[in-house]
Amino acid sequence: MFTGIIEEIGTVRSIRGGGSGVVLDIEASRVLEGTATGDSIAVNGVCLTVTPGSGHFTADAMPETLRRTSLGGLRTGSKVNLERAMAYGGRFGGHLVSGHVDACGRVTELVRDGIAMIMRVSVPSDVLRYVARKGSVTLDGVSLTVASVSDEDSSFTVSLIPHTMASTTLHLLKPGSPVNVEVDMLARYVERLLASGAAAPASAQVENGSAGGGLTEEFLKKYGF
């Protein structure tokens, strides 16, 4: 589990392999502190199992990962966002990030807004349904707040502050650039719970205070929502 707060920007030293899977060798320093073989590091928002070395680490990326994320487009010298798995008892500055990318979106627009940069990202409609204004989203491993959502062109925007631009690789993205998108996992669970509630047996619905099907306002209030 991750928080979406990037710890450092790494550099791809080499890529070995091909379509059947690759081994990424990434130069890093901070994320290697306390890291052991088998630990997880998010690389541009993708959770990978690593083998640390001196000043670098290696990680395997299987074909499914290469198909569903932008990691297949990395080259020697590419910059990547890095974050170690969340430590128990540590500060939680972002939101719950699993490192399981939902889609490879595409940057469609960049507009300056005072000190901020507004970035518009297009995603498949089945992913956009989980994106909500003022909700959380992860782009290349960076925890961000959604500024707006457009169903017309299946896109959303985020506002990037100078610190985010300076401390992550998001400043390298341009219109047309691919970007790894992970939606807020809570949205997926809520959808699943609502669907399960609607399909639950009548006895269970009565017990849960939702005899009419699905969750009710009374049920949510009863359990503190």
Q: What does the pLDDT profile of the chain (225 residues) look like in tens digits?
A: 899 999 999 999 999 998 789 999 999 999 999 999 999 999 999 999 999 999 999 999 999 999 999 999 999 999 999 999 998 777 777 888 999 999 999 999 999 999 999 999 999 999 999 999 999 999 999 999 999 999 999 999 999 999 999 999 999 999 999 999 999 988 888 888 888 765 555 455 545 554 455 566 676 666 666
The single-letter DSSP state of residue 199 is H
- The whole-number pLDDT of residue 90 equals 72
In the chain, the largest separation of any two C-alpha atoms, in whole Å, equals 61
pLDDT attached to residue 198? 56
**Angle, vertex CA 186, rays to CA 184 and CA 190, nearest 5:** 130
DSSP-assigned letters across all residues of 48-100: EEEEE-SSEEEEEE-HHHHHHSGGGG--TT-EEEEEEPPPTTS---S--B-S-
CA distance linking residue 105 with residue 177, whole number of Å: 8
Task: Report which of 119, 94, 112, 116 is spatially closest to residue 161, judged by C-alpha positions.
Answer: 116
> CA 142 to CA 171: how far, in whole Å?
12
One-character DSSP codes across 18-59: ETTEEEEEEE-SGGGTT--TT-EEEETTEEEEEEE-SSEEEE
Length of the chain: 225
Do residues 31 and 23 lie in contact, with contact meaning Cβ atoms separated by under 8 Å? no
The Cα–Cα gap between 147 and 34 comes to: 36
What is the pLDDT at residue 206? 47
